[in-house]
Structure 1
Amino acid sequence: MSMSRLERDRRGEKVTARKEDTEYDYMSKIVVIGDAGVGKSNILARFARNEFCMEFRPNIGFEFATLFLQVEGKMVKAQIWDTAGQERSRAVTSAYYRGAVGALLVYDITKRQTFDNIQRWLRQLRDLAGPDIVIMLAGNKSDLNHLRAVPVEDGQALADREGLLFLETSALDATNIERAFQSILTQINHIKRLRALGAASRRGQGTTVDVADASGSGKKMRCCST
């Protein structure tokens, strides 16, 4: 999938784009969730701005980036939200999840507790965003393999059991960061396409209605869409 970064937002401050750059086929909101310190903000910074901060800086308030991306021939306005510290007080509310169609669910491969907490985040995600949301499970900080506390097999097994996509990532060296978002957006696009085909198929089938002719006899006529 080819991606072209044309516009970025940070803390709601919109970067003005040329008119031709702002035309898009649809918008996809993706949320990034997980325990504090797993690297969510750096994942967003690496993907949106190709930046990485070595110091841990807890943020206040939600943070998001907006990018215009090519996804299988469609121009997508991807709005990616980071909890930005809200997870520390568990203050992530329904407003954060509202409208989300994709999620990056992150744990730290060097901290087992962050992996053990994934089920809690998953329940919250499905309760507040809906059961059909596309979810990528990401084991972050793969560059620290020598400090690993969560085997790759554990992450893959959880993903298989819960029906999630799965990758290990590193915001430090950019391993699989683009691939993670690519996979989410591609899956969202597939779902949109299948739903559109299903809707078109249902319209084409039409419905059967009773129509009385002039003589008063009942006839059945199939009503078709044009």
Structure 2
Amino acid sequence: MAKNKIIHQTTRKMSQLCRKVVDVNVRWGVLQRVSFVGHFFRFIWGRLVVCSVGKPSKYRRLSFRDSSPFPVEERFMQEHNTVMDSDYDTDSDLVNLKISLLGDCDIGKTTFVIKYVGNEQEKKSLQMEGLNLMDKTLFVEGARISCCIWDVAGDKRSLDQIPMACKDALAVLIMFDLTSRSTLNNVVGWYSEARKWNKTAIPILIGTKFDDFVRLPPDLQWTIVTQARAYARAMNATLFFSSATHNINVNKIFKFIMAKLFNLPWTVERNLRVGEPIIDF
């Protein structure tokens, strides 16, 4: 009897051990299958949560030391391209900024962003239907500022992305093609859509393809300048004419945004001369 009891207990323990081994194997198989999904989810979560925090960020005025070897205009825009990772979420020195881009199709929005963030960052961008996210990290007096730029495609299918792109954005760039009057006329609609979801973001009106614009007849240039300035005043927006091809005013626009957000001692000079890249505010 004692021998049979020992055999019975041993058999039961072996059965329990086998069930545990099978359970571990099943769990490991499931983990292997979802590992890719997990990595993908963390990637999207790192992009979206960092750029769309629920509470508005509080920004401090950045002080400047006179010992800096850079001029004021250059000191706060020392730039470094980097990829956002999970360590940034817990870094108190990282300030996250969200910037939205709106405008018609084929006006150079994505080219404009790539000129600013660089080709390497463009390769690491997160692309969704009707939406393209790109990052750039700036170093300002030792503080790290991460700009997440939400580029909304200009077709009708992308209209559903506007709420997500504009929510919590600190600046909204409304863009048009300087050589296309129809895209200029449409900026009012884009601005109205943005304001439905964000009442406080800094508005900036940007005319692209300035290098093509200067080839237009002078009277047509004057008409476009006049109309663009009128729209900018109605939006209470700063107006920039730019060219991604020749890097005209691309970096200056983002410098202007940083100066506005952080009360930095740098301002742009107004330029209203027809035939030159307009800056009006």
Quickly name the TM-score band, shorter chain normalised: 0.5 to 0.7
State the 1:75 CA deviation.
3.5
State the Cα deviation string for residues 156-202 of structure 1 (Å, max 9, x = none).
222123210111001111100011111122212239xxxxxxxxxxx
Q: Aligned pair 1:161/2:234, yes or no? A: yes
In the alignment, is the contact (CA less than 8 A) between 1:4 and 1:68 conserved in 2?
no
Distance 1:185 1:173, change over 3 A: same
State the 1:108 CA deviation.
0.3
In the alignment, is the contact (CA less than 8 A) between 1:109 and 1:115 conserved in 2?
yes
CA RMSD of aligned residues (A): 3.0
Secondary structure of 1:103's aligned partner? strand
Distance 1:157 1:93, change over 3 A: closer
In the alignment, is the contact (CA less than 8 A) between 1:71 and 1:186 conserved in 2?
no
In the alignment, is the contact (CA less than 8 A) between 2:188 and 2:231 conserved in 1?
no
Secondary structure of 2:203's aligned partner? strand
Q: TM-score, normalised by structure 2?
A: 0.55
Secondary structure of 2:77's aligned partner? coil
Q: Aligned pair 1:65/2:138, yes or no? A: no
Distance 1:129 1:179, change over 3 A: same
State the 1:50 CA deviation.
5.8
State the 1:25 CA deviation.
4.8
Letter in 2 for 1:176: N
Structure with the greater relative contact order (CA < 8 A, sep ≥ 6): 1 or 2? 1
Q: TM-score, normalised by structure 1?
A: 0.67
- Counterpart in the other structure of 1:95: 164
- Counterpart in the other structure of 2:251: 178
Q: Which of 241, 262, 266 is equivalent to 1:189?
A: 262
Q: Which of 36, 48, 51 is equivalent to 2:117?
A: 48
State the Cα deviation string for residues 52-84 of structure 1 (Å, max 9, x = none).
xxxxxx98442222222145775322111111x
In the alignment, is the contact (CA less than 8 A) between 1:34 and 1:87 conserved in 2?
no
Matched residue count: 177
Distance 1:138 1:81, change over 3 A: same
Q: Which has the higher helix share?
A: 2
State the 1:119 CA deviation.
0.8
State the 1:5 CA deviation.
3.1
Q: Which of 68, 77, 81 is equivalent to 1:7?
A: 81
State the Cα deviation string for residues 90-142 of structure 1 (Å, max 9, x = none).
33331121210111110001111111111111111111122x21011001100
Q: How is 1:132-151 mapped onto 2 (pairs within 5 angstroms)?
A: 132-145=200-213, 146-147=215-216, 151=224
What is the rounded CA distance, in whole Å, between the counterparts of 1:165 and 1:27 in structure 2? 23
What is the rounded CA distance, in whole Å, between the counterparts of 2:164 and 2:128 in structure 1? 18
Letter in 1 for 2:203: I
What is the rounded CA distance, in whole Å, between the counterparts of 2:132 and 2:229 in structure 1? 29
